Structure 1
Amino acid sequence: MSSPVRQAAQRYRRWKNLYYYSLGKAFLDPAYPAVARLFRNSTLPLLDLGCGMGLLTAYLRASGHGSHVIGIELDAEKVSVAREVLGEAGAEFHPGDAFSFPPHLGDVVMLDVIHYFDDAQQQALLTRIAQSLAPGGVAAIRFTLNERHWRFALTRAEEWFVHRSGWIPTTGHNFPTAEEMTRAFVAAGCEVTMEPMWGCTPFNSYLLVARRRD
């Protein structure tokens, strides 16, 4: 049987550029296997904020995750791709920013999105995510930690590049501190952990995992 990386990328085979991008992204991004381990056995619906072209959903499906997925993505073209390749895989995708998600009770994943919002918006969004966790539900949020570190400087430069290239339609540099990221989940009574999620990348990425108690 092929690996989750190849199974996920295969969905994008009709677009040569997206196929090779998917192979590289799914292979190199350490958050993908980490998120797959978190949600593989969950029966709760999963909300994916900033879902892009649905690659994470494709990877999760290839890793055994079968619950319903609701994806929200600002880029309408990526939403169209996600619908085309995953529309019959128990997933739905909608255009909109991270605040646009419908009422939800289940699990939540959000990778590399929080820095596009100002301080007040970040806290409002994290609070809403915490409120959207079902009993036993998990939120997995990858973010860039604001700290004096060479990885942080490189992350800021990478953010500028992806915006200038047109791959990401918006830009943002409001990277939060650890306390700012955990505040809403601690207030909601969740168990919170945070670990580096660098993998082989030079970026100052961390994965916050918040679990609502049963």
Structure 2
Amino acid sequence: MTAVLETRPLDGARARSIARAFLPDGAFGNRWNYFYTRTKLGSDPLYPAVADALRDTTAPLLDLGCGLGLLAHTLREDGVDLPYRGVDIDAGKIAHARRVADRARLRDVTFDAVDLSRVMPEHAGSVALLDVLQYVDTPAQIRILDTATAMVAPCGKLFIRSGLETPGWRARTSKAFDTLAAVAGWMYSAPRRYPSEALLRDRLDAAGLRYAITPLNGNTPFNNWQIVAWRE
């Protein structure tokens, strides 16, 4: 793994602009999603990193484990207009993602509820796999990775963001935070196993992809890494 200069998160004005679409309809509605979105976009370098990776591609994008669909909003705000489909196991988040995308008038964006541990959608193009692998066991990680790599078209890319199975305080912090998010009901389940770098390299090599693995911690205390892969 190679250390590189990391992408910065969105500035405050851009984060607030995107988060406004997540405000409740009424003055007394629940504002959790608004404050969560605003905080995450303003602290996590993930979304600008994905936009930078996909900016020179033309293939449609499948976002596996899309949650509230933040990636769709940040890509459109950044001028990346690839056709986007987001899937997630949490039907409640998918319903909210649809409502907010309609409110924000995002073009060429769809969302569907899918349990990736049971079935993978058909797709050819680019794939985003963001903070998903730690929530399934190793056999499921292999199935998801092998299916995702097979989806990558010559004009597309695979972007993975994940914690890795490494020693150190960042790894412990990531696991504690992910576990707390599950206890609080924000995440569908607690983390099961973080993938190893060796597993990722093995599956990417088997798929014949070129790739780069670099840190993506930003100003966070988490053990986050980005893997960008492409087919020559």
TM-score scaled by length of structure 2: 0.86
Q: Which residue of 1 is the match for residue 156 of structure 2?
A: 137
1:123 corresponds to 2:133 = no
1:77 corresponds to 2:87 = no
From 12, 15, 36, the counterpart of 2:22:
12
Q: Which residue of 1 is the match for residue 110 of structure 2?
A: 92
Q: Which residue of 2 is the match for residue 174 of structure 1?
A: 193
Deviates most, 138-147 or 36-45: 36-45
Q: CA deviation at 1:38?
A: 1.1
Deviates most, 5-14 or 59-68: 5-14
Q: Confirm or deny: 8 A CA contact 2:53 2:228 kept in the other structure.
A: no
* Greater RCO, CA 8 A, separation 6+: 2
Deviations 1:94-113 (A, max 9, x none): 11223534210010111111
Aligned residue pairs total 212
Q: Which residue of 1 is the match for residue 215 of structure 2?
A: 196
1:39 corresponds to 2:58 = no
Counterpart AA for 2:87? I
TM-score scaled by length of structure 1: 0.93
From 32, 35, 41, the counterpart of 1:26:
41
Secondary structure, aligned partner of 1:194: strand
* Distance in 2, Cα, partners of 1:96 & 1:18: 21
Counterpart AA for 1:6? R
Counterpart AA for 1:47? L
| Structure 1: segments with no counterpart, 5+ residues | none
Deviates most, 28-37 or 13-22: 13-22
* Distance in 2, Cα, partners of 1:104 & 1:5: 30
Q: CA deviation at 1:166?
A: 0.4
